[in-house]
Amino acid sequence: MDRSLRSEYLQAMGIRQWVPRERVRETAVAGELPAGAEAVITGPAGQRANAIAGLDWEQLESSVADCTRCALAETRTRTVFGVGNREADWLIIGEAPGVDEDRQGEPFVGRAGQLLTQMLRAIGYRREDVYITNILKCRPPGNRDPLPGEVACCHDYLERQIALAGPGLILAVGRIAAHNLLQTDIPVGRLRGIVHYYGKHRIPLVVTYHPAYLLRSPLEKRKAWADLQLAQQVFRGQ
């Protein structure tokens, strides 16, 4: 992701940056500012972030259900918080709810969700063994790509979910999830096959294709299987 787009995210979140020129460098670790940068969260956005950082699971889910931070609150049917084992070793992060998810309030329940369930089963996991959530908690109209401001509004919720879950591995499912978690615009095909690390705790992160893409391009399923095998190897410390 280029610096101007990153700044747009940070501004939407109420974060100011001080970056000494002599110490600026690129970073591939999501959640980090450039070396030497100091982030200060100010104003109402900072107050919301601090409040969310202290919520437990039930309080966080309630906060998401009542959220009106962005215009998606006006068009959603239901918020889609997440589903599965909240103490799971694996955290699956997708893009945003679709029409089926918006209707049922649960992520990955349509045809793509059925394929994801099959993919997890292939490596020995049931849906209830992992925790599944999305970058966005509300469906964008027409299933369009999330806007930067919408992602910024949901960022604190996702960060708190990750902190509460404390996963041993994150599986980023699809382009939107990978780009936002890793703060990059590198194509998914080039992000695959590499172990990335997320946040200050450097949680191992593996990128794979979105099941909706695999339904359109079934020949790519073998690559997704390789991604799952890599994730399993990383988690097991092989």
Q: Which of 15, 151, 180, 131 is nearest to 70 (CA)?
A: 151
Name the class of domain 3-235: alpha beta
Looking up tokens 């190897």, which residue turns up?
Answer: 233
Question: How confident is the model over 68-95, as pLDDT tens digits?
Answer: 999 999 999 999 999 999 999 999 999 9
Question: How confident is the model over 178-193, as pLDDT tens digits?
Answer: 999 999 999 999 999 9
- Looking from the CA of 122 toward its CB, the CA atoms found within 13 Å total 15
End-to-end CA distance of the chain: 31
Other beta carbons within 10 angstroms of residue 98's beta carbon come to 22
DSSP H or E run through 205: strand 203-208
DSSP H or E run through 112: helix 111-122
Question: How confident is the model over 132-146, as pLDDT tens digits?
Answer: 999 999 999 999 999
Question: How confident is the model over 96-109, as pLDDT tens digits?
Answer: 999 999 999 999 99
Q: In the chain, what percentage of residues exceed pLDDT 90?
A: 77
CB 153 within 8 Å of CB 63: no
What CA–CA distances, in Å, run from 86 to 20, 65, 89, 176, 201? 40, 18, 9, 23, 18
DSSP-assigned letters across all residues of 54-103: T--HHHHHHHHHT--SSGGGGT-SS----EE-TT-SEEEEES---HHHHH
